[in-house]
Amino acid sequence: MADFVRTLSREVLNTGPNGAETREWLVANGLGGYASGSVSGAVTRRYHGLLIAALPAPLGRVLMLSQLSDVVIDADGRSFHLSCRDAGGDSAGGETADTETGEEGQTAALQEFRMEAGLPVWRFRAGGAVIEKQIVLPHGQNIVHVTYRVMEAKAPVRLRLRPVLAFRTLESAVDRPLAGAYRVTAAGQRYEVSAGPDLPVLRMAIEGGDFPMTLDGGIRREVYYRVEDERGYQSRGSLWTPGYFSGEVGAGQSITFAAATEEWWRLEALPPADVLGFEAERRRRIIQNAHPSLRDGAMAELVLSADSFLFVPAGRVADQMRARAEGDEVRTVIAGYHWFTDWGRDTMIALEGLTLSTGRQMEAGWILHTFGHYIRDGLIPNMFPDGKDRGLYHTADATLWFFHALHRYLSATGDRDTLRLLLPKLREVIDFHRRGTRFGIGVDPRDGLLRQGQEGYQLTWMDAKVDDWVVTPRRGKAVEINALWHNALRLMAGWLREEDGEAAARPLTELADQARASFNARFWCQSAGHLFDVVDGEHGDDIACRPNQIFAISLDHPVLERERWEPVVETVRSRLLTPLGLRSLAPGCRDYKAKYFGDLRARDAAYHQGTVWGWLIGPYVDAWLKLHPEDKAGARRLLEGFLPHLDEAGIGTISEIFDAEAPFTPRGCISQAWSVAEVLRCWAKTES
């Protein structure tokens, strides 16, 4: 485990605005569930918790265990709190109070925080004792282990561990728990918390020592969620605690608090040391299977981050049964933590970096099979809402990205069986797009370009919408949609040629030729020296300088004429490129926003109006290398800005978005699938 360690010192964690409270960690369980929190221990988001369980619909992801309030009592009777309890807590030391018992005490000094192969470890000094704390989630189980090791102590110390909980669906407001009352039952050293027949049971136990639980009648604790306040959401709610575990631990000894929604036989099947050992080995293999350039340092960390997005959708039981009945497996991709589920667009864009670059080709095939099963009216789902069995289909580009992902998969594996399985569905996709399908998506027969748009929907990746306000309406013929359409036609023509001969491919080749000619006639804006973002839109042609034009070059079958590649790339380089991706709108354009902050309406107003998107570095690297195929070193330098970022926001991973101007503050999700995927993919691609 020690080969892949990212360590943050006490000095880093206790200085400036980006200290222990604003840095966050996350561990996923391969089912869509996870554990996550701030390094300081303060619960600042509604999405923070030690056990967010992934459960069958209609529950979805449910917060079961919010915190473990942990106190060390030394031989002199002094109390040291290992974690902050409130957003304003100070992890550097000083007097504080146990908000559950009223007992005064100090906050233990956080000497170090590190991610060992993606698993969080804290080192505290509590008086004369040094204690380490580590969190592990057994893969494929709704179980969390929190292990405490006494590294140094002149005499045994007493640990008091108080579970703090509120059964609440992940997206619920913090003041609206699912349960109004809890019931605790005990059988020996096994403890269960229940809250009604329709909710899961939380099972808890301590392994490694004699730690009886003292039930003190249940205490409700008011919590302030600072980040939710900043984001304009309900920020005050209550958590409940049934009591506390207490026992002694000597130097060189350890105990593990275990909690789960799984049955007891699963929770107790393996001792904690074995769980850690097996998880360490699983992670080691993940790294060793990756592209050689991704097996060390920061890239190895990102390979482990990539693993967190790949999951079996535990909530969709019928899908798992169907796939296994067919001899297959269900896999999909969490688009980002903490709040996204699986999105079709994000999955297809991220598939190559998350799976093919990391040596997980079989899972890539399962993902393609999974989404192929969901094709309806020529579309794959835009997203699956949490706790639902069915997807929503309002997207014009996700299905076109499906062709791209399949092509990259076939190039890596040569899996003709998957191609032949999906080819009838892809024929339907093309036919539906030619005739017209949902949401106004269809080919304009006059020019062969693809148009899209329906009132109240945003169908491209620039999909911010607040109530009835579509922030970036792009109804019409969008530049990247038509680049993707042309690419899909060329790919489909090639597959049909290989499988059925030239006659089968010819109609699509002709349609692709028409689309390419029309694209180059319509999208080039001579006065601006770059491509229109939308043509034939509801307000005419949109001259805004956006990154979407880069796809006209970056895709495997570029739709843009070669002589115009250089001015487009230069425009994107000079106006949109940052060390952490591309701006979504160039400075100087109307509606440009330099910062992404405030309540939901303010944030969505900036989401695609200048805000930097990390994943867009991928298509820019692709376009750059098409212009400069020998300059892999220059392309690699475009990725180096992400390396310092791994020490901030989500530790060891890459955020969703960043402010449009220096210091490019990370925003949005702390860990985003396509951000991680595109950096991994391009790092491997630029290996010299």
With CA atoms as reference, report the closest residue to 133 among 75, 70, 91, 78.
70
Contacts (Cβ under 8 Å, ≥6 apart) of 276: 134, 136, 145, 147
471 pLDDT tier (thresholds 50, 70, 90): confident
**Statement: the pTM of the whole predicted model exceeds 0.75:** yes
With CA atoms as reference, report the closest residue to 62 among 201, 183, 160.
201
Contacts (Cβ under 8 Å, ≥6 apart) of 153: 74, 128, 129, 130, 250, 251
∠ Cα 202 208 209 (to 5°): 95
Rounded distance between C-alpha atoms, residue 5 and residue 123, angstroms: 14
pLDDT of residue 29: 97
Give me the mean pLDDT over the 497-511 stretch.
97
317-366 residue pLDDT tens: 888 888 888 888 899 999 999 999 999 999 999 999 999 999 999 999 99
Percent of the chain at pLDDT exceeding 70: 96
Residue 434 has pLDDT above 70, yes or no: yes
560-583 residue pLDDT tens: 999 999 999 999 999 999 999 999
With CA atoms as reference, report the closest residue to 304 among 148, 146, 149, 137.
137
Residue 94 has pLDDT above 50, yes or no: no
598-615 residue pLDDT tens: 888 888 888 999 999 999
15 pLDDT tier (thresholds 50, 70, 90): low
Q: Picking from 455-464, 488-497, 626-635, which range would have the lowest pLDDT averaged per residue?
A: 455-464
**Taking the CB of residue 214, how many other CB atoms lie within 10 A of it?**
11
179-205 residue pLDDT tens: 778 999 999 999 999 998 888 999 999
26-58 residue pLDDT tens: 999 999 999 999 999 999 999 999 999 999 988
E strands along 481-539, which residues?
524-525, 530-531, 534-537
Query: Do residues 67 and 41 make contact, with C-beta atoms less than 8 angstroms apart?
Result: yes
pLDDT of residue 18: 61
* Tokens 């750059």 belong to residue: 624
- Radius of gyration for the chain, computed over Cα atoms and rounded to the nearest angstrom: 26
Per-position b or e across 602-631, b if 16+ CB within 10 A of its CB: bbbbbbbbbbbbbbbbbbbbbbbbeeeeee
